[in-house]
A = this chain, B = another copy of it.
Amino acid sequence: MEIFISKNILSTNEEYANAVREILKDKKILALNLLSSPGAGKTTLLEKTLEEIKNKLKCCVIEGDLSTSLDKERISKLGIDSYQINTVSGCHLNAKMIHEAIKKLKLDDLDILFIENVGNLVCPAAFDIGEDFKIVILSTPEGDEKPLKYPIIFRQASVLIVNKIDLLSHVPFDMNKLENNIGKINPDITSFYTSCLKTKGLDEWILWLKEKVRNKKNA
Contacts and interface: CB of A to CB of B under 8 A. Distances in A.
Contact of A146 (B38, B90, B125, B143): B38
B91 A123 contact: yes
How big is chain A's contact interface, by range?
35 or more
Interface in A50-99: 65-68, 70, 89-91
A149 B5 contact: no
B89 A39 contact: no
A65 B149 contact: yes
A66 B155 CA distance: 14
Contact of A121 (B68, B119, B149): B119
Contacts of A39: 37, 139, 141-143, 146
A152 B118 CA distance: 14
Contact of A148 (B67, B91, B151): B67
A208 interface: no
A39 B137 CA distance: 13
A141 B122 contact: no
Contacts of A68: 145, 148-149
A109 interface: no
A67 B150 CA distance: 7
A23 interface: no
A28 interface: no
Contact of A141 (B65, B67, B139): B139
A172 B166 CA distance: 13
Interface in A17-68: 37-39, 65-68
Interface of A: 1-2, 5, 9, 37-39, 65-68, 70, 89-91, 118-123, 125-126, 139, 141-143, 145-146, 148-152, 164, 166-167, 170-172, 197
